[in-house]
Amino acid sequence: MKINMTQFNNFKLLFLISLMIFFGSCRNQASQKDLQAPILQVEKLAKNSDPELDQISQVVRTIFQDSKGRLWFGTQGGAFKVEDNSLIHIDDIKGESGKGVTIKEITEDKDGKIWLGHTDGVSSIDGDEVVNYYESDGLINMDVWSIAADSKGNIWIGTIDGACVFNGEVFTKFELPKGEIDPTRGISSAEIVHSIMEDRSGTLWFSTNAGLFSYSDKTLINVSEKLGIPTNFINEIFEDEKGEKWISTKTGLYHLTGNKLTNITNDKITGEKGIGCIGEDEDGKIWFVGNQHHLYSYDKHEIIEFQKTEENKGPGIFEIFKDQDDRIWCVGFGGAFRFENGKFINIKKDGPW
């Protein structure tokens, strides 16, 4: 078959147009893939994102609510407060070397100033002003485990090396008897002060490795010795809404009414670390931790262990706290949780508050 020049030129033109369409399509497909690649990568990252990043912190050591109703969280990543439904990190709380700290306890003095005890001293917050106190300022030891403000405006500080009191100007050593090192704890000393509490009568209570001590009218009393508590390893003393005392120890949970002491666990709960933190719900039921982070309740008649599941296990509890709305919080390893209707609700960086 003969093809004239006009037909040949038309054929070449059609062939070139076809090639352009083909390669343009390939380039278009390639560009679409290039555009899709980062989108798919972001989606993949979102699906595989670490849920721990949403937590206030993976370790929340303590929770506090001040007189203005603001919630405060003490964590291994420093201190946070909730204001206007937003979680705010307090950046100016630092160790003497400038490094971050782990907050172990928070309190408020009679003038509304917030005080925090941590792994590198003590800090106060007054409005937007943060002041950090170290051994160079007179603090007896930088490793602070407990802190409390009394009704007179003094700040009581429990460290790994004993207790001291701050009157706003100077730190003064407060002499407590020396105890023993607790071999079942990762960190312990003979002079560690686990908790300090002022009760509604103005008496101060110190939980130590030398026993439980009360201090009133400049008189220190060895309550463990007086009441016959069979261990000197005292973790915490808690005062309920009726003014009755609850004492967590190495050998059980004790109920103190007047001068009558009762071991309510009475070997029902075993474990070398004994009983830990204590709290009370709006119905007057006592909640406490024992036997390696197990959660129990006591309604003045029987002890019931809360049955955790994989879907409803909450944190490894450091503290049980009732807020001003009578809601129960449990904080510890794993973050911050509210305990509502038998369920742990994980409270993350965006709440729910």
pLDDT, one tens digit per residue, over 175-192 is 999 999 999 999 999 999
pTM of the predicted model, to two decimals? 0.85
Question: If pLDDT is split at 50, 70 and 90, which confidence band does 269 have?
Answer: confident
Among 9-13, 31-35, 132-136, 311-315, name the one with the lowest average pLDDT: 31-35
* Concatenated DSSP letters of 16-32: HHHHHHHHHHHHHHHHH
114: three-class secondary structure by DSSP: strand
CA angle 319, 324, 326 (to 5 degrees): 75
CA 110 to centroid of chain Cα atoms: 23
Check: CB of residue 298 under 8 Å from CB of residue 264. yes
Q: Per-residue pLDDT for 35 more than 60? A: no
- Comparing 33 with 13, which gets the higher pLDDT? 13
* pLDDT confidence of residue 267: 78
- Comparing 304 with 268, which gets the higher pLDDT? 304
Quote the tokens at residue 265. Answer: 């666990």
* pLDDT confidence of residue 25: 44
Question: If pLDDT is split at 50, 70 and 90, which confidence band does 39 have?
Answer: very low
Average pLDDT, the chain: 89
Is residue 96 within a helix (H) or strand (E), and if so which, with residue range?
none
Q: Per-residue pLDDT for 243 more than 90? A: yes
Among 258, 238, 281, CA closest to 148:
238
pLDDT, tens only, 80-133: 999 999 999 999 999 999 999 999 999 999 999 999 999 999 999 999 999 999
Q: Per-residue pLDDT for 268 more than 90? A: no
* pLDDT confidence of residue 51: 62
Q: Per-residue pLDDT for 277 more than 70? A: yes
* pLDDT confidence of residue 33: 38
Q: What is the mean pLDDT of residues 194-207?
A: 98
* pLDDT confidence of residue 50: 62
* pLDDT confidence of residue 22: 42
* pLDDT confidence of residue 53: 82
Rounded to the nearest 10°, the torsion over CA 207, 211, 215, 220 is -150
Counting residues of the chain whose pLDDT is more than 70, the rounded percentage is 86
Q: What is the mean pLDDT of residues 298-311?
A: 94
Alpha-carbon distance of 182 to 27, in angstroms, equals 72
β-partners of residue 298 are 286, 303
CA dist 201 → 54, 163, 194, 214, 321 (Å): 42, 21, 21, 12, 21
Contacts of 190 (CB under 8 A, 6+ apart): 178, 179, 180, 181, 209, 210
Q: Per-residue pLDDT for 214 more than 70? A: yes
The CB density around residue 172, as the number of other CB atoms within 10 Å, is 13
Among 321, 348, 289, 312, CA closest to 58:
348
Bond from prior residue into 51 cis (ω within 30 degrees of 0): no
pLDDT, tens only, 7-23: 444 444 444 444 444 44
Quote the tokens at residue 170. Answer: 């100077």
